[in-house]
């Protein structure tokens, strides 16, 4: 296995000083080293990271590093193909891509398709790549080959990173989090307070896993929930489509800070639609918790002002569990679209499971419930 600190040193020794991206579970140890180094920017989304990298190259002439999970590669196809490509501006950049769903490796359903097409996608886009070795000598050789190729062709080069490539590294830089509300506890409380006819669209990551286990714990069934297991940042628009199509059903979007920031423009669309039944719940723990705990800017921005400016009718902020019941009554009775932000700790259960139903089973049960 590669020592992430040593491999980052090797990258920096090649003059690659700038890094930006979105944290990934397969890259979390490497990403944590960069976070502790204090040298990288955690972007809103992968396309934004490509653009940041382009700006760095234009300003300095140096090669930047962009990191991401392969599922986020879709967010950067446009800027890679229409800007960085050698047929357009010809911008060199080193891409480090976590290979979730690698063929032959057990993974979650949402990663299988992306894993199958990761190499094919790079080939289709004419991006040369290597599968990063977990042996230091070979990995450094691959890095040198990548640097040589970028210098010669002035174009992106990718390193696909398999599961288990990097040694474990514990993040030292912690998000300052003064909040005491536990996310799973507050989700459990809210699910039990929702109307019988309400439906829930939950965001990517641990929130959806918690929703599934809470429903099972209380024998509530799973037909009221759409678990957005992939497509980070899109739960709010899925919920909007449902709310517009089922105006007689309360629709709760259970969102996260990282997901909301990733596609923040979605809020402007929500705020300007006639969706009186739309209830947006933002669980904000200030970090990308499920992929290593790297900070978002969730505690540095004002989601209420953003929602107000986007056209939401009302907004609330909860930082203490004792304040939630009174605010919940107002939130539940208000005409949507409305936003409730709840600030929580970053903690979650170590034994948190995953849905035991398939995505198709989830879809079918959810649609059946909506037809009632």
**What is the reported pLDDT for 107?**
83
**What is the reported pLDDT for 316?**
98
Question: Domain count of the chain?
Answer: 2
Band (pLDDT 50/70/90 cuts) for residue 329 is very high
Per residue in 175-231, pLDDT tens?
889 999 999 999 999 999 999 999 999 998 899 999 999 999 999 999 999 999 999
> In whole angstroms, what is the distance from residue 147 CA to residue 219 CA?
56
Whichever domain contains 105, its CATH number is 3.40.50.970
Closest-CA residue to 208 (of 44, 70, 348, 370): 348
Q: Taking a C-beta distance cutoff of 8 angstroms, is the pair 340, 283 a contact?
A: no
Closest-CA residue to 216 (of 197, 188, 185): 188
Q: Are residues 84 and 204 both part of a single domain? A: no
Q: Are residues 123 and 222 both part of a single domain? A: no
Checking if the pLDDT of 173 tops 90, the result is: no
Region 269-277 average pLDDT:
97
Whether 118 is in a domain gets the answer yes
Q: Are residues 198 and 333 both part of a single domain? A: yes
Region 117-131 average pLDDT:
96
- The answer to whether the pTM exceeds 0.75 is yes
Q: Are residues 10 and 152 both part of a single domain? A: yes
Per residue in 64-95, pLDDT tens?
999 999 989 989 999 999 999 999 999 999 99
Domain of residue 131, residue span: 4-161
Whether 174 is in a domain gets the answer no
Checking if the pLDDT of 53 tops 80, the result is: yes
Region 286-309 average pLDDT:
92
**What is the reported pLDDT for 34?**
93
Per residue in 99-115, pLDDT tens?
999 998 988 888 888 98
Whether 170 is in a domain gets the answer no
Band (pLDDT 50/70/90 cuts) for residue 343 is very high
């Amino acid at each position: 296995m590669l020592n992430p600190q040593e491999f980052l040193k090797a990258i920096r020794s090649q003059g690659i000083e700038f890094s930006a991206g979105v944290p990934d579970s397969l890259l979390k140890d490497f990403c944590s080293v960069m976070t502790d180094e204090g040298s990288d920017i955690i972007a809103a989304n992968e396309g934004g990271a490509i653009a940041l990298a382009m700006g760095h190259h234009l300003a300095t002439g140096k090669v930047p590093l962009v990191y991401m999970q392969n599922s986020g590669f879709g967010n950067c196809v446009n800027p890679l193909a229409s800007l960085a490509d050698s047929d357009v501006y010809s911008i060199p950049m080193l891409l480090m891509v976590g290979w979730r769903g690698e063929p032959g490796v057990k993974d979650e359903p949402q990663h299988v398709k992306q894993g199958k097409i990761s190499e094919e996608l790079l080939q289709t886009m004419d991006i040369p790549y290597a599968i990063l070795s977990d042996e230091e000598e070979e990995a450094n050789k691959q890095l040198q080959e990548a640097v040589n190729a970028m210098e010669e062709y002035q174009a992106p080069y990718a390193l696909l990173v398999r599961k288990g490539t990097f040694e474990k590294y514990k993040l030292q830089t912690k998000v300052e989090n003064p909040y005491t509300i536990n996310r799973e506890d507050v989700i459990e409380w809210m699910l039990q307070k929702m109307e019988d006819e309400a439906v829930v669209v939950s965001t990517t990551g641990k929130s959806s896993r918690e929703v599934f286990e809470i429903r099972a714990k209380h024998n509530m069934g799973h037909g009221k929930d759409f678990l957005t297991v992939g497509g980070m940042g899109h739960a709010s628009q899925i919920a909007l489509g449902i709310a517009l199509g089922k105006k007689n059903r309360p629709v709760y979007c259970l969102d996260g800070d990282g997901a909301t920031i990733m596609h923040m423009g979605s809020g402007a669309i929500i705020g300007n639609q006639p969706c009186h039944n739309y209830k947006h719940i933002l669980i904000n723990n200030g970090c990308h918790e499920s992929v290593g705990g790297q900070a978002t800017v969730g505690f540095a921005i004002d989601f209420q002002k953003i929602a107000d400016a986007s056209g939401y009718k009302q907004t609330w902020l909860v930082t203490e569990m004792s304040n939630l019941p009174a605010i919940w009554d107002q939130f539940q009775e208000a005409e949507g679209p409305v936003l409730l932000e709840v600030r929580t700790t970053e903690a979650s259960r170590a034994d948190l499971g995953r849905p035991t139903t398939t995505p198709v089973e989830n879809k079918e049960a959810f649609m059946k419930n909506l037809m009632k």
